[in-house]
C-alpha cells in the first residue's frame, strides 16, 4: 500500500455489467433484486400477480422460476432477444411494474445481482436452494407452504 490510501476488501459492490452469452449453450441467469432499503413490501399477492404479468409481457428475456421474499426476489431468466442486455431488461420490467402498482413507496434498488449458471451448475439444485429461503427465515415450515413463487415461461436447460 502506498501513501495514505485506505485499505479496501477485494470484491465488487455491484455485479459486472452484462451477461456473457454463449451461443448454442444454455444461458440461464439467476437474478436477485432487492427492495429499496430492503423494505419488506414484496411478499404479497398483488405484487406477485403484477410481477408475473409484467414478466409475461417483458419478453426480451424470458422469466422462468421465481420466488418472492419480503424484501427481495430471485428469478431465473434467459435471453430471448440479444439486442437487449440484462440491465436494459431489468430497468424495463421495473418501470412497467411501477406503472401498474401505483404505490409510490414500492421501489427496488437501482440494480440487480445476476449470476450466469455454468454448465456444471445444476438448475434444479439452485432452484431448490432458492425455495429454501423462506425455511431459512422461519417464514414457513415446508417449501410448498410459501405462496409467493411460480413460473412464468417454461424455459428448458
Alpha carbon distance, N-terminus to C-terminus of the chain:
46
pLDDT of 52 over the 60 cut: yes
Instruction: Give the three cell numbers for residue 72.
Output: 427481495
Domains of the chain by residue range: 30-151
**pLDDT tens track for 92-130:** 999 999 998 887 788 999 878 777 677 656 888 999 999
pTM, two decimal places: 0.81
State how far the Cα of 5 lies from the Cα of 133, in Å rounded to an integer: 39
3-state secondary structure 78-97: EECCCCCCHHHHHHHHHHHH
Assigned CATH topology for domain 30-151: Alpha-Beta Plaits (3.30.70)
pLDDT value at position 48? 97
pLDDT value at position 119? 65
If you average pLDDT over each of 26-35, 116-125, 139-148, which comes out highest? 139-148
Instruction: Order the strands of the 29-35 sheet from edge to edge.
Output: 108-116, 29-35, 72-79, 61-68, 149-151
Dihedral angle of Cα 71, 72, 73, 74, to the nearest 10 degrees: -140
State how far the Cα of 19 lies from the Cα of 28, in Å rounded to an integer: 10
- Helices 86-101, 45-57: axis angle to 10 degrees equals 130
Amino acid at each position: 500500500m502506498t501513501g495514505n490510501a485506505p485499505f479496501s476488501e477485494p470484491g465488487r459492490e455491484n455485479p459486472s455489467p452484462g451477461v456473457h452469452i454463449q451461443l448454442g449453450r444454455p444461458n440461464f441467469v439467476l437474478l436477485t433484486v432487492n427492495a429499496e432499503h430492503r423494505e419488506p413490501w414484496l411478499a404479497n399477492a398483488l405484487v406477485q400477480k403484477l410481477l408475473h404479468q409484467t414478466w409475461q409481457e417483458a419478453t426480451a428475456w424470458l422469466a422462468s422460476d421465481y420466488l418472492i421474499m419480503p424484501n427481495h426476489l430471485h428469478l431465473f431468466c434467459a435471453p430471448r432477444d440479444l439486442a437487449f442486455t440484462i440491465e436494459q431488461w431489468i430497468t424495463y420490467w421495473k418501470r412497467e411494474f411501477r406503472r401498474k402498482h401505483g404505490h409510490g413507496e414500492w421501489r427496488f434498488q437501482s440494480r440487480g445481482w445476476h449470476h450466469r449458471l455454468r454448465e456444471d451448475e445444476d438448475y434444479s439444485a439452485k432452484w431448490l436452494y432458492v425455495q429454501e429461503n423462506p425455511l431459512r427465515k422461519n417464514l414457513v415450515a415446508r417449501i410448498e407452504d410459501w405462496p409467493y413463487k411460480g413460473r412464468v415461461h417454461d424455459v428448458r436447460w
